[in-house]
Amino acid sequence: MGAQSAGPLVAGVDSSTQSTKTLVVDAETGVVVARGHAPHTVSRGERKESDPGQWWRALGEALRQCGDAARQVSALSVAGQQHGLVALDAAGEPVRPAILWNDVRSAPQSERLIGELGGAKAWADRVGSVPGPSFTVAKWAWLRANEPEAAAATAAVRLPHDYLTQRLTGQGTTDRGDASGTGWWASATEAYDTGILDLIGLSPDALPRVAAPGEAAGTVHARDLPLPHGALVAAGTGDNMAAALGLGLRPGQPVLSLGTSGTVYAVSTHRPADPTGTVAGFADARGDWLPLACTLNCTLAVDRIAALLGRDREAVEPGGGAVLLPFLDGERTPNLPAASGLLHGLRHDTTAGQVLQAAYDGAVFALLRALDQVIDEEAAPDAPLLLIGGGAQGVAWRETVRRLSGRPVLVPQARELVALGAAAQAAGLLLGEDPAAVARRWGTARGAAYEARERDEAALERLAGTLAAGEGLLRG
């Protein structure tokens, strides 16, 4: 247990691909008084699936690690990995393991759906996003095509955070932020799109209610968790939307997140609609928008390259002309779901450290290509990049971002920003405040600032040239 609390306590939950993290936080000051962590397992190989029941068990374990503090919370919120398909039967039990965001088996269904609704621009105008294989709408279409018995047994479809919120409250509730990543919630109307639901054979009755920003999902109904019965439960949101809340983002502040996936995003007051599909036109958890680009291959891919080379992840070396595009799990940005890694430009004098640096360059390059499309006129051209996620603590990651972006970088001191954002949402609900303003009062974005470096144009040109020349190979 951490510092003593002066105000009411709230809990924030981050249910990610790999683990569940919980924070118990003083709602007035933002002081973390207790924390917990429990791991998840994900199937290996092409299938990226998890048993939703383990998320619930991990939530209980992480809360128990918080001790007495968990039993004193007045409100809580769950943030979760986006896009995952949780199919439930009439009794609320999963009919199969959840299909996770980074499972790209639904690429054929994605392409078919885009065509059936009139093309990419029609999707962007209507939904705000072009539904790639990661989107829940493509995963549901895959399930119907490949496991019709499981689809027929499905009475309710939930996202990962919805599933946990429903088990907490007994009510089917989601929020506009996470719902905007499904492909069947239309940003143009801020409602479920019945035309799209008819197209994929899914009843609106199978979907959760979309709570308004600041609205509660219910109260704690579950008896098997160390939480006060009747504590307020916020609507929750997706992990990226929660991180934006956790940073207290104002419109135009660009964020680059380095985790299992890499993301770039910024809060905007303008509804995004990118027909190229590079930028997902997500809603945020407050009432604004969160244009976002996401890559599948980030820290895990680079760590895998380091392991293959037998080097520590920080053991990079400058120089050389090697280019490595580490698309080990297929890729979402650029949209190359069948891709594998591509290494080009080896010479006799190329060192292992240079190859490892090339892997960092390839992962960061894919994110920076999307950055200019994510941020709009609300962002100053020299605004610092807020660097977050596990990779933000690595010197090699930070210096690669500085060298390839040419921007100043700010690394917030606060950790576990998704769980902090969920806690801020819970505090906002409890106190009747804007959750982003709560996070700003907590000072979550304070951290180490690094000046801009001259951008490495030569490396960027090599990367762009290799991507263009190798696109045929990368398409698989």
- The dihedrals phi and psi of 14, each to the nearest 5 degrees, come to -115, 100
Q: 187 Cβ partners below 8 Å, 6+ apart?
A: 127, 128, 129, 180, 271, 272, 273, 281, 283, 289
List the helix and strand counts (H, then E) for the chain. Answer: 16, 24
Residue 111: CB partners within 8 Å, gap ≥ 6? none
Give the helix ranges, DSSP H, for 51-159: 52-65, 107-116, 120-127, 136-146, 148-152
Please classify residue 468 by burial: count the beta carbons closer than 10 Å to its beta carbon, then call 0-12 exposed, 13-18 middle and 19+ buried. Answer: exposed
Can you tell me the distance from the alpha carbon of 15 to that of 435, in angstroms, rounded to the nearest whole number?
A: 19
* 75 DSSP β-pair partners: 10, 232
Active site includes 239? yes
14, 239, 274, 329: the catalytic one is 239
| Pairing mode, strands 385-388 and 19-26 | unpaired
Amino acid occupying residue 335: N
Distance (Å, whole) CA 113 – CA 127: 13
Parallel, antiparallel, or unpaired: how do β-strands 209-211 and 173-175 relate?
Answer: parallel
The b-or-e profile of 8-29 (16+ CB within 10 A means b, else e) is bbbbbbbbbbeebbbbbbbbbe
Which residue in the block uniquely carries the two structure tokens 């991990």? 58
For 158, the enclosing helix (H) or strand (E) is strand 156-158
Q: In whole angstroms, what is the distance from residue 138 CA to residue 136 CA?
A: 5
In sequence order, what DSSP letters do the residues of 232-282 get, joined into one string? EEE--EEHHHHHHHHHTPPTT--EEEESSSEEEE--BSS----TTSSSEEE
Q: Which of 249, 243, 285 is nearest to 261 (CA)?
A: 243
Contact 25, 32 (CB under 8 A): yes
User: What is the identity of the amino acid at 294?
Assistant: C
Q: Where would I find the beta strands (DSSP E) of 375-463?
A: 385-388, 409-412, 447-450
> Which residues are marked as active site?
239
